[in-house]
Amino acid sequence: MKIDGIQSADCLVIGDLNIDLVLNGLRGLPELDKEILAQNYSVVIGGSGGVFTAVLSRLGVVTSIISKISNDFFGSFLIKELKKNGADVSNLVIIDSGETGITINLSYEKGKSQISSVKLIKSFNKSDIIFDKIENPRHIHFSSYYMMDGLKKDYLEIIKKLKQRNSKLTFSFDTNDDPTDTWGKEIYEIFRVIDILFLNRKEALKISRQPSLDRALARLGSYVENVILKLGKEGYLAKCGSKTYRGYCKNLKNEYFQDSTGAGDNFDAGFIYGFLNGFGIVKSLSIANYVAEKSIEYMGGVGPEEKFNKIKKNFKIF
C-alpha cells in the first residue's frame, strides 16, 4: 500500500495525457472569418493515455500513468480528475514551465475534427521515466506512439529494460493517428516485442500498407499475437493467435449519441480489464465493445458514474 492509499498499480500507462475540450451539437465545419455555435462543451481528461488510465481505474484495475504535464491550471485539473477516478498520479512528471497539452475536439456524429497543442507530450523522453520508481505492474500500455516524438526511438530499449525486471510483463500498444501521415516502417520493430496491438481502420490500413482490413490483419498478425482493429460503430475485427473474431455494436442507429471522443481508448481499457482478469479473448472483446459503445452516449472520454453502473450491470462484474 502506498502512502496516499492507492495500491501499487497493476497497469502502467506510458503516453499522452492532456485536456480535452469537447464541443458538440455543431451545425457545420468551421470556416475562415465565420463563427459557428456549439450546443454545449465540456472540459475533461483527454489524451489517449489519460482516458485509458481513468477508464481502466474506474473498471477496477489500479492504473498509474507516466506522462508530462505542467504545474498550471489544466495540470492541476488533470491530477484532481485522475485521482477522482481512482488512478495513481505519483509517476506523473509535473514541471513548472510550459503548458499542459490540450486537444479541442469538434465532435460530430459521423466523426470528429481535432486541434492539438501538446508540446510537453512531444518533449517527453526516456529520461522522464524513473525506472526505480516503477513498482511491479503486470501490464504496460503505450498510447499515441505518433505523438511521442521524444520517445519514439526508445520504445525498444524501454520494453527490454522493463522485461529484464519482470519477464512475465505484458505490453499493449495503441498508435492512434499519425498527424504527419508518414506511417514509418520502423514501428514493426516494436510490434515484434508487444503482446496486444489496438488500431482503428485507418491506422491499420496505413501502417500495414494493405488494401483491405483482412489483409492488414494478416500482415499485422504475423508480428503481434493479438491484433484488435476498432471499426467505429461497425464494432471490431481481431486476430488473436490463429483465430479471427468479429464483433458488432448493438446500437447501430447511434441512438443516444453524444460524443465519440475517446471511444477507442474506452475499447482498449475494456479489453485490458478483461485480459488482466483472465476472462479470455471472447469475453474481453465483448466487454471492450460494450464499454466503447456506452462511451459515445456521454460527453468526453471517461464519462459519468451512470455509464460504469450500466457496464457493471450488463456484465455482472466488479
On the 0-12 / 13-18 / 19+ scale of CB atoms within 10 A, 188 is: middle
The Cα–Cα gap between 127 and 204 comes to 30
Position among 264, 300, 301, 303 found at the interface with Mg ion (CB under 5 A) = 264
What cell was used for 178? 499519425
Asked whether position 137 contacts ligand ATP by CB under 6 A, the answer is: no
Of 283, 286, 284, residue with least CA distance to 272: 284
Q: Which residues pair with 174 in a beta bridge?
A: 143, 198
Asked whether position 231 contacts ligand ATP by CB under 6 A, the answer is: yes
Q: Which residues pair with 141 in a beta bridge?
A: 13, 172
Phi, psi of 147 (to 5 degrees): -85, -25
Nearest to ligand ATP of 123, 254 (CB atom): 254
98 binds, options ligand ATP, Mg ion, none, Cβ within 5 to 8 A by partner type: none
Asked whether position 16 contacts ligand ATP by CB under 6 A, the answer is: no
Position among 21, 66, 129, 292 found at the interface with ligand ATP (CB under 6 A) = 292
Using CB under 5 A, which residues numbered 146 to 185 contact Mg ion?
Answer: 176
Q: Which residue has the cell 516485442?
A: 193
On the 0-12 / 13-18 / 19+ scale of CB atoms within 10 A, 199 is: buried
Q: Which residue is nearest to Mg ion (CB)?
A: 264
What would the x/- binding string for ligand ATP be over residues 248 to 287, using CB under 6 A? -x----x-----x-xxxx-x--------------------
Q: Which residue has the cell 498509474?
A: 64
53 binds, options ligand ATP, Mg ion, none, Cβ within 5 to 8 A by partner type: none
Asked whether position 139 contacts ligand ATP by CB under 6 A, the answer is: no
Residues that bind ligand ATP (CB under 6 A): 176, 200, 230-233, 235-236, 249, 254, 260, 262-265, 267, 289, 292-293, 296
